[in-house]
Amino acid sequence: MLQAVGVTSVRRAEGRPAVDDISFECLPGQVTVLLGARGAGKTALVRLIAGLDAGRGVTYFRGTPLHRVSDPAREVGLVLGEVPGHPARTAGGHLRMLSAAVGVPAARADDLLDTVGLGALRDERLGLLSRGMDRRLALAAALLGDPHTLIFDEPCRDLSARDGAWLLGRIRDHATAGGTVLCATRDPKAAARFADHVITVDGGRVAADQDVEAFARTRLRPRVSVRTPHAARLSDAVRREARAARRSVEVVSESSSLLSVYGSSCPEIGETAFRHGVLVHRLTEEVGDTGTAVAPHPRAAGGEAVPPHESASAGSPARVATTTPPPEPAAAPAAPGLTASESAPRIAPPEPGGAPPATAPQAGYPHAPAPRTPHAPAPQARPATATAPPADPVDALRGADEAPAVRPGRSRSPRRALRYEVRRLLGVRTAPLIAAVVVASSLALCVLLARGGAAPRPSVLVAWPGFLPLPPAAFGAGLIGALSFGEEFRFPALTAVRGVSPRRPGLLVAKLAVTAVAAVTLAVLAVVADAQVLRLVHGADLGALRANWADLGIRWLGLCVGCAWAGLLAAAVFRVTAAGVAAVLAVPVLIAPLVEFALLGPAVRSIAGLPGRIRSVAQGRLPESADPWIRGALELVAQPVGAAMVLSLSALICAYLFIALRRRTTW
């Protein structure tokens, strides 16, 4: 069950918030539809319910507020449109990457690809998938954690009829299996076809809260659509004849040349037009949408939904002229104008305290539970995490300070952060291409510097000419670090995994570790390749460098790792890859000269003997062999570039902690 109580978005600058104090319930085993026109607040409401945007109110998922669910990905699945993944990543690689974030085996991703019909396209890149295949992959990502609740925002938008029918079938399968489904759509006829419960939203508020039969009776009615250049004449003629015959006919002027006539038929309208000499361009019968009128919340009027035609709306989109009030229907028929093949099977809501009706999962949906019978309790995929939610949302809102007695759980996001980061880095060709360009550039610069003969041998070995701010390997490491966090915001794949924030400390530690390994690998590859070229092309003897290899190695690896971390942290703070690259280049170009200027003058104390003093402070736990490494690290920090790197990393870490750990609005 899903309960939204008092959900309200942040107030906009122009005054009224996009979502204003909305409360409703979604029962398990049913498909609940949020219906509204463009700009009605459906998407904002869905994002607030899912906890993606800040706001006020509380949302209960099977009795537990969302911020207290220990594993949100196993409770809520989101399909918010296209898959937010890197276009060069394969469908299988993308799903396996998200499986690490959810904490499920990679075999689960492969099974879901077969379930949604993408088994043959697991090696297809996301940028080449059609819209229908993309939506199937989004559904597979939402089902990774086997959630109880699925939330869709315009699931069939821009889909073909075949793909839309398939997706609606899978939605119905999940509800049939006992899950809770919430969909947002703007198509009232589609809502009447596959929904069990319809909540109409208009202007950020609930206009009607109805079951599908009441919705079809009050919102959808058969009508005659007439297109004519003389709409006013035909409208007057239809009203006069209906008044003379004492028939209930309603005429709606949709535009200057389009009329919608309720309570009549095509032969009657055609004969009226013929008798009055009115030219008709189109005459057809269809199911009409009567429009949305803002009404008080149903619970404020004793729980009865207010039909749209009985509530006043100052901003109605159409002008309505009626001869007599339309008669009340005697019974609640099915959705008018819909054939039996178009109507989805209905599931009666479970009785309070009783077992739901017996249902059988549809073939091709292997994760559906076993059939349920009234004589046996329904199997559950996972135990409930809290007590039942309050029966009335109003009472729940009054007692919001007394939340259900639930032990707050800490969600590690992603749950397997290191595995997720490795799959993210190696899932596209960006890192290998950067490595290839770095090695090629380093070899070319190394040969040029060795031919000149004026550059120092260490600079030749790392291919660092004086006119470049950084050697190719250090700049490549910084670029890999900047892309590590920059792509999280450019292609927010973690949005599909509810509750995962790209700035979680666990993910930061994983990214720091993986980028450090990538930077060290890149630095070693560049130096080894340059050394081999120097030996083969110029016959250079590197014996002089071997005697001081520890100090040089520490400086070189520290520079590459520092550049990688600077790019990573800057991209995390400013949410863009370009900021990470700029931070990497700012260290030698801007910060290092300032540090060198500040350090001009005699040193207060030499670092000679400092490694031994550090070892003595450590009470002998450090061996004497560690002295060269300590000396190399201190000499790196003592240099302007090293000091600038330390200052930059310190400032970026403080900025990251300020942004990532600041207090946010919780649900």
Report the topology of domain 220-322.
Alpha-Beta Plaits (3.30.70)
Residue 320: is its pLDDT beyond 80? no
Three-state SS for 388-404 is: CCCCCHHHHHHCCCCCC
Question: Is pLDDT of 664 > 60?
Answer: no
| Identity of residue 518 | A
pLDDT for position 55: 86
Q: How many CA atoms lie within 13 A of 629 on its CB side?
A: 8
**Position 303 confidence tier, pLDDT thresholds 50, 70, 90:** very low
- The backbone region for 575, taken as left when phi is positive above 0, alpha when psi lies in -120 to 50, beta otherwise, is left
**What pLDDT shows up at residue 582?**
95
- Give the pLDDT confidence of 358-417 residue by residue, as tens digits: 333 333 333 333 333 333 333 343 434 343 444 444 444 434 333 333 333 344 568 889
Average pLDDT value for residue range 599-626:
50
CA distance 73 to 249: 52
Report helix, strand and coil shares of the chain as percent, to nearest 5. 45, 15, 40
pLDDT for res 547: 61
Query: Is there a contact between 69 and 667 (Cβ–Cβ < 8 Å)?
Result: no
Q: DSSP string of 319-372?
A: EEEESSPPPPPSS--S-TT--TTTSPPP-PPPPTTSPPPP--PPTT-TTSPPP-
Cis amide linkage into residue 404, ω under 30° from 0:
no
Question: Residue type for 497, please?
Answer: V
CB-count exposure of residue 617 (10 Å: 0-12, 13-18, 19+): exposed
Q: Are 118 and 136 in contact (CB under 8 A)?
A: yes
How do residues 552-598 score in pLDDT, each as one tens digit? Answer: 788 889 899 999 999 999 999 999 999 999 999 998 888 888 877 77
Residues whose CB falls within 8 Å of the CB of residue 622, separated by 6 or more in sequence, listed in order: 614, 615, 630
**H helix or E strand, kind and range, residue 221:** strand 220-227
Q: Find residue 44's DSSP bridge partners.
A: none
Q: Is 208 exposed, middle or buried (0-12, 13-18, 19+ CB in 10 A)?
A: buried
Distance, in Å, from the CA atom of 586 to the CA atom of 648, rounded to the nearest integer, reads: 9
Is beta strand 149-153 parallel, antiparallel or unpaired with respect to 76-79? parallel
**What letter does residue 90 receive in the DSSP assignment?**
B
Residue 14 in this model has a pLDDT that exceeds 80: no
Cα 427 from Cα 233, distance rounded (Å): 66
CATH code of the domain made up of 2-215: 3.40.50.300
pLDDT on residue 262: 85
Compute the distance between CA of residue 31 and CA of residue 29 in angstroms, rounded to an integer: 7
CB 258 within 8 A of CB 227: yes
Residues 74-115 pLDDT 10s:
899 999 888 888 999 999 999 999 999 998 999 999 999 999
418-438 burial, b at 16+ Cβ within 10 Å, e below that, comes to bbbbbbbbebbebbeebbeeb
- What is the average pLDDT value for the chain, to the nearest integer? 77
pLDDT-above-90 percentage for the chain: 41
Q: Looking at residue 544, what is its pLDDT?
A: 57
Q: Quote the pLDDT of residue 597.
A: 75
Strand order in the sheet with 2-9: 22-26, 2-9, 55-61, 64-65
The residues spanned by each domain of the chain are 2-215, 220-322, 417-660
Residue 361 CB-half CA count within 13 A: 17
Q: Which tokens go with 135?
A: 């939506």
Contacts 24+ apart (CB under 8 A), 9-14: 9/41, 9/44, 9/45, 9/48, 9/53, 9/55, 9/204, 10/53, 10/54, 10/55
